[in-house]
Homo-oligomer: A and B are copies of this chain.
Amino acid sequence: MSKDFSVTVLGSSSAIPTKDRFPTSQLVCCYGRYYLLDCGEGTQIQLRKYKLSFQRIDRIFISHLHADHFLGLPGLLSTMDLLGRTKEIHIHTFDELNLFMDGFMKSTFTEFSFRVHIHVMSKKKSTVLFENKHIEISTIPLKHSIPCNGFLIKEKRKLFNLKKTALKKYEPSIEQIHHIKSGGDLVLSDGSVVPNAELTMIPPATKAYAFVTDTCYYESIIPFIEGVDLLYHEATFAENLKERAKSTMHSTAKQAAEIALKANVKKLMIGHYSVRYENTDILLKEAQLVFPDTFCSTEGLEVEI
């Protein structure tokens, strides 16, 4: 994972894993730091398989507390501990995870050599969970059988790059350069103003990734994911099991594609496949009929955002 902003799929299965598919987990790399989205059973094994460093993960985001989305946590944290981690780790999820982790810690007679901060998310409204100079991570409230949040990871506005010709012509001070890079105009000593557009090149577009699992078809998420570069949307069932999708509060592949279309996203990645689909072609085809730029998540797939 050498890209500035990319995602690696660690698990593409829904609740029942298969011999090839692990439960949900994805690793997002943003400017050298790793962010783990969900942590199904076996996540630590997948991280090893794809040679992804555990210790670069500082933040873990757990969408909801169904077993297939968080059971890899105690094993991952235990291994981090055995490998000598001392740096604190942050987990963003719902309050009930404390019950699980408390039970685990008490049953195993151990304490980690690093602090685990569990930050409780809002169940109802979108909130910013984390930001640094590069990115911001916020929640996307979903509709599932228990409280569940998706996550939106978006790059912050990038700084403008100065044109070399402008630098040479006006010789701005360090302070003035900072001002221009942030989008400001240059005020010369005679009081005249050189507009920013004349001084800078358009910065590269900011990118965004939306991780949406588990949820039924839910148009309320569209304002949050509008125009993202990549949408991951669960697609547990094919269209002939639309009623089952509804009753279990999951989505069909076609519904995932409809959301992608309505939200005008650039690309759609589907996943969270039911165990009944040994081959996921039917899911892909049904989605592509609605939203052609769809592809399937598979274990080990790395996608540049």
- A positions within 8 Å CB-CB of B: 15-19, 22-23, 41-42, 44-45, 48-49, 65-68, 71-72, 74-75, 78-79, 82-83, 96-104, 106-110, 146
Q: Which residue of B lies closest to A47 (CB)?
A: B19
Q: Which residues of B contact A146 (CB under 8 A)?
A: 109
The smallest C-beta distance from A169 to any residue of chain B, in angstroms, reads 56
Once the chains are docked, how many angstroms separate the CA of A15 from the CA of B270? 33
Contact of A104 with B103 at beta-carbon distance under 8 Å, contacts A17-B45, A44-B41 already known: yes
For A68, the chain B residues whose CB sits under 8 A away are: 75, 78
Q: Which of B71, B98, B101, B110 contacts A74 (CB 8 A)?
A: B71
Q: Of A65, A72, A82, A100, which is in contact with the most chain B CB atoms at under 10 Å from its CB?
A: A100
Q: A41-B44, A71-B75 are in contact. List 9 more A-B contacts (CB 8 A).
A: A17-B44, A17-B45, A19-B49, A41-B41, A42-B45, A65-B107, A99-B106, A99-B107, A103-B103
Contacts of A41 in B (CB 8 A): 41-42, 44-45, 71-72, 75
List residues of chain B with CB within 8 A of the CB of A16: 79, 82-83
